[in-house]
Amino acid sequence: MIPAGTATAQQAEQLVRGHRYTEAIDAVMAGRDGLDGLADADLSVLGVAHLQRAYLLRDLAALQAAIGRRYYHLRLTSDDIAPTPWTAYFLGRHLLAQGLPDQALPHFEASFDAARLPGEYRRRARIWAAACHALQGRTGQANTAWDALAVRGKPALAGERAYARSVAGQDETPACGDAAPASAAAFRCLLWAGLQTKDAATVRAVQQRLLREDLPDQETRISDDFVLRFYDPATLDMLALADFATAMEAFSRFQGTRGRRDALLYAGISAYEAGDDERARAFLDQTDHPLRVVYLGALAYRAGDRATAAQHWAQARSGAPSTAIEWASVAARFETEHDAVGAVAARHRDAATGNQRASRMLGRALLEIGQPDEALRLLETAYPAQFNHDLSRIEPGYLITLTRAQFAAGRRYYPAVRSHLASLIDAYPAVASVLYLAQAYTAPERTMGKKRTG
């Protein structure tokens, strides 16, 4: 959908086709503070790069949550692993990232008064325990707990509370202060505040730092030769939201007639994924692209209008295979649609076989509805052995979805999980946190520390 344009746009388009989205973004934005003055061709390639990187980061976040849930549970329950005061808290965070507030809550509560756990983490545990209550319908209890926390002058906690409230469907803009951020949590505060206030310069600056540096939330030495690292799943999720928001702004500025239908569609999709439902609907109402019904239905569903959602989605399911597959990828996030998603996946499996984009979308849907074996069989058809981690031939979002399915399939795929993640590190340094967890969980002899005694 990228129109012919500037030499910069042509260079960036080649980088996008080679699946190097960060480099494409840097090419377009070199020497610029914002999007003003960009030609349509530049805006299009910038939007595509941000949108594709956003999906990659979101898939990475899902993989981190899956691995972290198993890893921290192992650390917490095994008699052969040295205990740490942070394990229960980070287990709770990864369980909540997988949408399991009932299972996460006891681990946060266990962290309230945990011996040797720093006070900041005890307060963060209370923030996330409140989110668990809110997500289970106990909004009053959650708000009381959140309001009781003193976060003034504590940017890391302010950002944590604001983000936690957003997870539970509330809005809050954190006060991050003027001091230079000194932790991953403080950077997240700045990023979240920038997203809430639409401060594009701050969002871009913080994104660049978090995308290029390996910045754990916590480190602790557990043996003479090993430092244990803890990563919060919020970092990857926020980075994805930031990319969706920037993609929306880029596509929304498109002025030309040729390509406008696609630009409006992708502006709407980006807005939907960023959680800006009002703007998403406004963009989608201006385009006649066949995929619009998928997202109009999703917007209606999120607003509680199931009848309108059903009308749009019936049209999507009966449309072209590409539209039905897109519907499955979106609708799989809603539990009531899982049976219908399974039926669509079975009907259109052949259309997705051997195609990285289609198998990624359908594979993601199958993972979401609890069919990892089917997802793996489908995804493997699009990965010939001769690809050998050639990024120019492998879409990274597809590779991470394949990796998710392989991790779910068990031990015999663990070497492939580590290998796939390692292959993306140079182009996408943010993969480091997930690779660390994968190595820690699948190669435990390196990371477990001393055996418990007594």
**Looking at this protein, which amino acid is placed at residue 190?**
L
Instruction: Please name the residues in contact with 257: beta carbons below 8 A apart, sequence gap of 6 or more.
Output: none
The predicted structure's pLDDT at residue 2: 45
Residue 220, phi then psi, degrees to nearest 5: -150, 135
Cα torsion 245, 251, 254, 257: sign:
negative
- As a dihedral over the C-alpha atoms of residue 48, residue 51, residue 55, residue 58, rounded to 10 degrees, the angle is 150
First to last CA, the chain: 64
CA–CA gap between residue 400 and residue 360 (Å, rounded) = 9
CA–CA gap between residue 124 and residue 437 (Å, rounded) = 22
CA–CA gap between residue 25 and residue 14 (Å, rounded) = 12
The predicted structure's pLDDT at residue 454: 31
SS (H, E, C) 414-440: HHHHHHHHHHHCCCCHHHHHHHHHHHH
The predicted structure's pLDDT at residue 5: 56
- As a dihedral over the C-alpha atoms of residue 368, residue 329, residue 255, residue 205, rounded to 10 degrees, the angle is 20
CA–CA gap between residue 244 and residue 207 (Å, rounded) = 12
pLDDT, tens digit only, all 454 positions of the chain:
444 456 789 999 999 999 999 999 999 999 898 999 999 999 999 999 999 999 999 999 999 999 999 999 999 998 888 778 999 999 999 999 999 999 999 999 999 999 899 999 999 999 999 999 999 999 999 999 999 998 888 888 889 999 999 999 998 888 887 777 888 999 999 999 999 999 999 999 999 999 999 999 999 887 777 888 999 999 999 999 999 999 999 999 998 888 899 999 999 999 999 999 999 999 999 999 999 999 999 999 999 999 999 999 999 999 999 999 999 999 999 999 999 999 999 999 999 999 999 999 999 999 999 999 999 999 999 988 777 788 889 999 999 999 999 999 999 999 999 999 999 999 999 999 999 999 999 976 555 544 433 3
The predicted structure's pLDDT at residue 285: 97
Cα 32 to chain centroid, rounded: 26
